[in-house]
Structure 1
Amino acid sequence: MPPTSDTPRTAAPAGEDKIVRRKLSDEVFDRLRAMITSGDLRPGDPMPSERDLMQRFGVGRPAVREALQSMQTMGLITISHGGRSRVNALSPDSVLDRVDEVAQILLSSAPDQLENLKEARRMFEMGMVRLAALRATEQDLFDLRRILDDQRGHLDDPRQFIEADLRFHARIAETTRNPIMAAVSASMLRWLLRYYTALLHWSGNEHKTLAEHEEILTLIGQKDPEGAVNAMRRHLDRSSEMYRYES
């Protein structure tokens, strides 16, 4: 039966129909972001002047400046004082660089997150090395061999040995030909590096690391994705304890 004026109405939950007024700066931000995503503003292009934006959108200078500041914080533009602000070229690397500092704070303030990071990295690198084994070129293999030889030459220099270790894994990421995977891998390695300091006082396992890297490289060169995955799993399981939180 259709409701009448006497039919009781069910009250809507509090706040369900509330109309929220958006800040003018948010509206300006959305308009500018749409101009970038549509291609009206391309990487390297100068942003319209504050006066132009005020006239175009019918808002005051504070709303425009707040919107531009938000865009710079997100890495969409670079504000140049005394010059024209410009649209940034975005890439997986530039986007993930923006979260580095926040990630470092998270890991420092919540030590339990280290185990989550190690678990995520383990699964990520196993998938990554599978692609590397399928896609590696002779140049990739040459570069990986050169990094491994460099690492072997720094057995008496822990810092250089660790740096070569990280470069080896980063180069495997590049071998996937997937820029997002390469950027995520680089970020994970940076986040883990703060926990790698224990290795500066650790010795005796350098030759194990080299042997494991050698096995991984050989299996990539043989186009053996399953073998490479298993070798990477063993390597990361063995080296996982080298990353520790130290208060």
Structure 2
Amino acid sequence: MAVTDEAIESLKSMIISGRLRPGDRLPREADLATSLGLSRNSLREAVRALSLMRILDVRQGDGTYVSSLAPESLLEALTFVVEFHHDDSVLDLLEVRRILEPAATSRAAARMTDDQFEELGELLARADDRSPVEDLVDVDTEFHRRIAAGSGNPMLASMIESVAGPTHRARVWRGLTQHGALTRTLAEHQAILDALRRRDPELAAISATVHIAGVEEWLRSSLEAGAES
């Protein structure tokens, strides 16, 4: 299990056991890290992940609190953190994306206009590896949506959107927990755009396949690690 996942598991156990209740303020970072046997960095990443999922509420200058959610909602959100690693349906959806999106990207290389390529470049410029991971995933989602639409096949674009949406949280989770994932994603986006600008359908399809296969391989490894733990 990744270090960040271990930190999340520790916080999850504290909340479920009642040691931390909705509305409670977390102990000081240094004290909490020591009591849980974690590094402050891994604890900080865990807090960031759980605040993104609205389980924790980080109040600038005040501290971090457990969100005052209804118990069933809180447990449902907490369950996702661990259980999605064991959810083969997300892996199945990523496999479908890997089949459909290269075809759409190949078609887009021949059908999108130069102005549309420039707009894609402007979109990618809105995020870098210092951006919050959720912002980068939003750019990723819009980038792929525009390319699918640019394929000129509304049915294909609709199918891609229907399978891409449910993988959003997995992509956010990868960005939070896999070292170098954000930098790699940015480079892969640029490779796709470069292939589109060259109007090279084959290269565009290959670049899209590499990009989506990276997320799929990460999730497959996470599933295998979870099964072994």
Q: Structure 1-normalised TM-score?
A: 0.50
Question: What CA deviation, in whole Å up to 9, does each residue of 1:176-209 have, x standing for no partner?
Answer: 1222222222221211113234223444222221
Q: Does 1:145 align with 2:87?
A: no
Distance 1:239 1:151 in 2: 19
- The answer on whether the counterparts of 1:129 and 1:228 sit within 8 Å (CA) in structure 2 is yes
**SS at 1:214 equivalent:** helix
**2:132: which partner in 1?**
157
Q: Does 1:222 align with 2:170?
A: no
Give matches, 1:189-208, under 5 Å. 189-198=164-173, 199-208=175-184
Distance 2:105 2:204 in 1: 6
**5+ residue gaps in structure 2?**
1-83
Q: Does 1:114 align with 2:93?
A: no
Q: Does 1:136 align with 2:109?
A: no
**1:172: which partner in 2?**
147
Distance 1:155 1:212 in 2: 16
- The answer on whether the counterparts of 1:141 and 1:221 sit within 8 Å (CA) in structure 2 is yes
Deviation for aligned residue 1:241: 3.6
Question: What CA deviation, in whole Å up to 9, does each residue of 1:90-118 have, x standing for no partner?
Answer: xxxxxxxxxxxxxxxxxx8x932222211
Distance 2:191 2:172 in 1: 25
- The answer on whether the counterparts of 1:130 and 1:226 sit within 8 Å (CA) in structure 2 is yes
Which range moves more in the overlay, 112-121 or 200-209?
A: 200-209
Distance 1:212 1:166 in 2: 14
Distance 2:88 2:104 in 1: 25
Give matches, 1:1-247, under 5 Å. 111-152=87-128, 155-198=130-173, 199-243=175-219
Alpha carbons of 1:167 and 1:132: their partners in 2 closer, same or farther (altered >3 Å)?
same
**SS at 2:126 equivalent:** helix
Distance 1:207 1:197 in 2: 14
Distance 1:151 1:241 in 2: 24
* Partner AA of 1:176 in structure 2: S
Please say which structure displays the higher CA radius of gyration.
Answer: 1
**SS at 2:212 equivalent:** helix
Which range moves more in the overlay, 157-166 or 231-240?
A: 231-240
Question: What CA deviation, in whole Å up to 9, does each residue of 1:7-65 have, x standing for no partner?
Answer: xxxxxxxxxxxxxxxxxxxxxxxxxxxxxxxxxxxxxxxxxxxxxxxxxxxxxxxxxxx
Distance 1:156 1:144 in 2: 18
**1:52: which partner in 2?**
none
Which range moves more in the overlay, 213-222 or 198-207?
A: 198-207
**1:17: which partner in 2?**
none
- The answer on whether the counterparts of 2:192 and 2:208 sit within 8 Å (CA) in structure 1 is yes
Deviation for aligned residue 1:218: 0.8
**SS at 2:127 equivalent:** helix
Question: What CA deviation, in whole Å up to 9, does each residue of 1:59-106 have, x standing for no partner?
Answer: xxxxxxxxxxxxxxxxxxxxxxxxxxxxxxxxxxxxxxxxxxxxxxxx
Deviation for aligned residue 1:162: 1.0
Alignment root-mean-square deviation, CA: 2.5
**SS at 1:150 equivalent:** coil
Distance 1:175 1:203 in 2: 32
* Partner AA of 1:174 in structure 2: A
**SS at 1:151 equivalent:** coil
**5+ residue gaps in structure 1?**
1-107
